[in-house]
Amino acid sequence: MLKFLARTTALAAMIAVSLPAHAETLKMWGPEQITEPLVAQLWNGIKADFEKANPGVTVEFMPPTGTISNGAVQAAIQSDAGPDVILTNSGIGRISVVKNAKQVMPLTEQYEKRGWKDEIYPWLYTELKGQFGGEIYEVPDGLDALGIWYHKDIFAQAGWKIPASWSEFETLMKSIEETGLQPIAIGPRTTGSAGHLFGNLLQSASGKEAIGKALRREIAWDDPSVAAGAIRLQKLVEAGYIKKEMAGLDLDGASRLWFNKRAAMFVAGPWFTANARKAGYDLANAGYAPMPSDIKGADIPTGGVGWSWLVPVNSKQPELAMKWIDFMLSDAVMKKRAQDPASTMIYPREIPGVEPPTPVLKDIFAAAAGGVGYNPSVYLPGPVLDTYFQVIQGLISGQIGGEDGMKQIQAKMAEAK
């Protein structure tokens, strides 16, 4: 018996000695599309590189099942068995939800200490600093640039092109509608899809500056200079260019309409390349252009911070989480991701010498080169967002008018002060 105990103890000691001195596991909530083979391949490569650079560390992916918008991130953090570091679709609106609930760590100090400040666009850092009185809670991983996606072949056959002015764009929609095609698809049952088109319309009708002022509460949302975009949506529905039935579609339903070429246009960002790949759509046929506007300088994509890294307050490995973010911001990883076929976004800093993996991404990068406007979905305060998305549904289903809808958003803005 004593012999057996001695042998077992010796064996246990040998195993303990052979194990790395500081075995650590970093639980990471990765990108939404991580179940897609191409995306998984890229992320498994990044994981392997990080583990190699940090002996004894194991990265464990937690496949995400949602976002801050649907409460999944909050639930994961609240479970206290959640990830140590989270990549999620963000923006000030969503971040305010988890920040107000004190679920994520402030990272301002890390920006200085670890040099993250110099690893993102200066304008982006200034914007982040201005959001919560100087405190920053996220590290941008990708930016969004929302504009019109169209089928190059259909447009070429019909002799159509995305025009420069709004009145010409209305004429284009009329022509498309007369052929029996849906001019533009939207899936407002999914919050993102609702906001993508609406943000484009707001900016096109009012300009970037006016929307920025409304977001900073310098103008009311029901001010005619801001409400014009909502009235524009109301008119598109009344004209039949956007079918009321679309109020019942989600992002997948609306995308299906576009991928099957029953809709001519769709408003989306660079991430739509992943949806297209999944649907087997030929990305070479995808054209991209910002929403036309009669206001000078307003014909740029809307967007903002689309994806960010967050560190939950109950992260078991906060230091390791910071190391992971360092790694993700490094030149090597940034370049690897930007050139990979799984790339679906605009990166938070300029990466010289990188060729986008698809032509449509090249178009998006070019359109966003001069900066992007505001997608209110990611800038509005959390408590206002629900009303914002419901108002869009109300406008598309013909239940409310543009002015009334904007009054409701303004009322929520006033309440959320």
Partner 1 sequence: MAPLRDAPAVPGHTGGNPARMSRPRMAGSISTDGDAGTAFWLMAPALALYAVFTLLPIAATFWLSFNSSAGFNTSASFVGVDNYAKAAQDPIVWKGLVHTFVWLAYHVVMAGGLGLLLALAVSRLRVTQVFFRTAFFLPHLVSLAVVGVIWANIYDPFFGLLNTGLTRIGLGAFTQGWLSDPALVLFSVNVASSWQGFGLYMLLFIAGLQNIDHSLYDAAEVDGANAFQKLIYVTLPGLREVTTFVVSLAMINGLKGFATVFVMTNGGPFYQSELITTYIYRLAFQSQDHGLAAVLCILLSLLAIAITIVFNRWRARLSR
- 140 or 405: CB nearest partner 1: 405
The only residue of 24, 51, 250, 403 in contact with partner 1, by rule CB under 8 A: 250
Stretch that binds partner 1, among 26-34, 147-155, 204-212, 241-249 (CB under 8 A): 241-249
Pick from 92, 394, 407, 410: which binds partner 1 (CB under 8 A)? 394
Does residue 410 bind partner 1 (CB under 8 A)? no
Using the 8-state DSSP alphabet, how is residue 258 labeled?
A: H
Say if residues 333 and 87 touch (Cβ distance below 8 Å). Answer: no
Please report the beta strands in 162-252, taking only residues with DSSP state E, as ranges in sequence order. Answer: 182-185
Stretch touching partner 1 by CB under 8 A, among 32-40, 277-285, 364-372, 390-398: 390-398
Q: Interface with partner 1 includes 397 (CB under 8 A)?
A: yes
Helix/strand/coil (H, E, C) string of 384-401? HHHHHHHHHHHHHCCCCC
x/- mask, partner 1, residues 251-290, rule CB under 8 A, reads --x--xx--x-x----------------------------
- DSSP state letters, 268-335: E-TTHHHHHHHHT--GGGEEEEPPP-SSTT--S-EEEEEEEEE-BTT-S-HHHHHHHHHHHHSHHHHH
Compute how many residues bind partner 1; rule: CB under 8 A.
Answer: 41
CB 262 → partner 1: shortest distance, Å?
A: 6
Q: Residues 136, 184, 211, 246: which binds partner 1 (CB under 8 A)?
A: 246
The strand pairing partners of 88, in sequence order, are 308
Give every CB contact of residue 206 below 8 A, 6+ residues apart in sequence. 225, 226, 228, 229, 295, 298
CB of 245 to partner 1, least distance (A): 4
The enclosing H or E element of 144 equals strand 139-151
State the Cα–Cα distance between residues 239 and 237, nearest whole angstrom: 5
Q: Which stretch binds partner 1 (CB under 8 A): 10-18, 94-102, 217-225, 371-379?
A: 94-102
Q: Which CB sits closer to partner 1, 11 or 75?
A: 75
Q: Is 382 a binder of partner 1 (CB under 8 A)?
A: yes
Beta strands at 85-89 and 302-310: parallel, antiparallel or unpaired = antiparallel
C-beta of residue 73 within 8 angstroms of C-beta of residue 67: yes
Give the per-residue contact string, 117-156, with partner 1 (x = CB under 8 A; - = no): ----------------------------------------
Binder of partner 1 out of 56, 71, 130, 240 (CB under 8 A): 71
Where does residue 139 rank: exposed (0-12), middle (13-18), buried (19+ CB within 10 A)?
buried
Q: Is 168 helix (H, G, I), strand (E, B) or coil?
A: helix
In the complex, least distance from residue 243 CB atom to partner 1, rounded to whole angstroms = 7
The answer to whether residue 404 forms part of the interface with partner 1 (CB under 8 A) is no
Say how many C-beta atoms besides its own lie within 10 A of residue 164's C-beta.
Answer: 12
Does position 403 interact with partner 1 (CB under 8 A)? The reply is: no
Of the candidate spans 112-120, 206-214, 365-373, 386-394, the one that interacts with partner 1 by CB under 8 A turns out to be 386-394
Residue 103 engages partner 1 in binding (rule: CB under 8 A): yes
> Is residue 358 near partner 1 by the rule CB under 8 A?
no
Least Å distance between CB 70 and partner 1?
7
Name the CA dihedral angle for 401, 402, 408, 409, rounded to a multiple of 10 degrees: 150
Q: How far apart are CA 258 and CA 264, in angstroms?
A: 7
Nearer to partner 1, 101 or 164 (CB): 101
> Which positions from 160 through 219 interact with partner 1, judged by CB under 8 A?
182, 188-189
Give the largest Cα separation in the chain, rounded: 92
Among 277, 393, 406, 407, binds partner 1 (CB under 8 A): 393
Q: How many CB atoms lie within 10 A of CB 4?
A: 8
List contacts with partner 1 (CB under 8 A): 68-71, 74-75, 78, 97, 100-103, 182, 188-189, 243-250, 253, 256-257, 260, 262, 313, 382-383, 386, 389-391, 393-394, 396-397, 399-400
